[in-house]
Amino acid sequence: MSERTVDPKLLEILVCPLTKGPLRYDAQAQELISERAQLAYPIRDGIPIMLVDEARALDDAPDAPQGKAP
C-alpha cells in the first residue's frame, strides 16, 4: 500500500475547526493533529475530514474507533 500525501498548500491553510489553531500532519497515521484541542482529524483517501465528531482524542489509541459519543 503506497503512503498518501496531502498537498502542502492545503496544509498551510487548514486550521482546527474547534480552536482555529494550527495543525500538524502525521503522515504515518494519516491524521492532522491539533495539539491545542488534543484531537487528531483523519485523512481518508487523501481528503482531510475536518469534523470534530470524526476526530480522535489524542489520548485514545490510534486504532480506536473514530468519533466519540458524549
4-37 pLDDT, tens digit each: 778 889 889 999 999 999 999 999 999 999 999 9
Which domains, from first to last, does the chain contain?
8-57 (2.20.25.10)
Q: Which of 37, 49, 39 is nearest to 6 (CA)?
A: 49
Q: Is 45 exposed, middle or buried (0-12, 13-18, 19+ CB in 10 A)?
A: exposed
Check residue 6 and give its pLDDT.
Answer: 80
Q: What is the pTM of this model?
A: 0.77
